[in-house]
A and B are shown apart, each in its own frame.
Chain A
Amino acid sequence: MATHPKRLGLKMGSRTEFTVLGDVIPGHVDVLRQVLREHIDNPRTQEAIDEIGTLHEARFVLLDGGKRLLFCSSFDGDWDTYIDDFATTAIGQDFDETWGHVQGYPGIKAPTVKDWFQAHAVEAGNFVCAYPKPTVKQVWRALAVQQAFEQVLDNPAAAEALQHPALKPLADLAAD
């Protein structure tokens, strides 16, 4: 397994925060705003985020009258994998279309892209999550199990099966 240098970003539970700032190329702010709007509405972006399955949340903020772009997110796992995942999905294209309006951005497939992001990253002074333990995928899995269990509960034919001692942990929750 490849080893990576220490990356900026505080960790809490499964999550790591990432904050990065860049200077918007003069005259590009309106196009950048439009690009961000298109991405957030684009089902392709949502599908790619689902495919990656490690991004908890992300926001873009335009600062100083649109002269600077701030991105902050939190994600599961390793930072290098996080960036690699972006590069291999539709998010890579989104990133290029976004950060391409920021001075010096080398492109998501450039060998120097990780160095560029790290050079523009600022580690948070502190980072707090209300439910830090589960990963995105664990929450999605829990939701799928809950939905399956609700389907079972809605089926009258399941009532007898749920009486089996092996299913007691679930039956106890159904009684709540």
Chain B
Amino acid sequence: MTDSVPKDPATTPGSQTADTTTQFNKKSGKGLRHGVISELATFFEVLPGHEDELRTACARLAETLKKGSLEMHMKTGLRDERHVIFDGGKRMMWCTTFETDWDPYVEDAVVIIGIENFVDWLQHTKEWPRFEAWLREAGGVEALNRELSDPSNEKSVRANARGLKEFLMSVQTPAVGYFNAVSDLTHPEIRKAMQVEQAFEKVLDTPGADEVLQQPALKPLLELAAD
């Protein structure tokens, strides 16, 4: 993987180390990527006395995401996310992985998830003033949501997310190593494969299927039936 020919990190397959991808690229921003998946790890300082409120707000974001439809997750490209408060409640990591490109991933946080879900927890961090400065410049939560009520405004809202991207990169620490076991598949591809597998299990439960699968043309499936 580490040869002398410079490669475009956005098109080079395989798990990666920070040494090859700390420079910004279209696919993963500043983070590493493995196959189609990119990582984003951001770090914040908790405002003194705000730990409990921060925990509660982060839980609200998690609930919003858990209630999100399958279609929403496939559109936003989110694979997983976690908030971890550490150092005795003084610091927090918010890390995610995603399969869309960096730009739409961040923009969809505003367009699809809703920026109010991020305001909710970011206001309890010391980084809030810088986030708030971007938000003010973008018109504020109500203006962003009002603008989005007319789909023709989506383009300008996405353009306004540029400051949000800069903010996220300013609190990001790219990983030095990242691995994903299903790095070659997107969420829709995983879903499709699971559907085929479920259909195959139904076939195996059907009387007479054993005999049909003995036909030479179905050999690839027969071999898996025994597993």
Q: SS class of chain B's interface: helix, strand, loop or mixed?
A: mixed
Q: How many whole Å from A89's CB to the nearest CB in chain B?
A: 14
Among A39, A55, A124, A173, the residue within 8 A (CB) of B181 is A55
Q: Does B8 contact A (CB under 8 A)?
A: no
User: Given the complex, which residues of B lie within 8 Å of A39, measured CB to CB?
Assistant: 177
Stretch with Cβ within 8 A of B (4 or more), from A78-86, A102-110, A111-119, A130-138: A130-138
Q: Is B62 an interface residue (CB 8 A)?
A: yes
Interface size on A, residues (CB 8 A): 62
Q: What's the tally of chain B residues with a CB closer than 8 Å to chain A?
A: 74
Given the contacts A125-B85, A126-B62, A145-B196, A166 and B209 also touching, CB distance less than 8 Å: yes
Contact in complex: A127, B218 (CB < 8 Å): no
Assess A61 versus B217: contact at CB under 8 Å? Given A125-B84, A128-B81, A146-B192. Answer: no
Are A61 and B176 in contact (CB-based, < 8 A)? yes
Question: Which 6 residue pairs of A and B lie closest in terms of their CB atoms, listed nearest first?
Answer: A126-B62, A142-B197, A148-B220, A158-B217, A169-B199, A130-B73
6 contacts between A and B (CB under 8 A): A33-B17, A141-B224, A146-B193, A149-B196, A166-B212, A167-B203
- Given contacts A33-B19, A59-B41, A136-B182, could you give 13 more A-B pairs where the C-beta distance is less than 8 Å? A19-B93, A37-B2, A41-B15, A59-B179, A72-B95, A125-B83, A126-B83, A131-B190, A139-B185, A141-B227, A149-B220, A165-B206, A166-B212
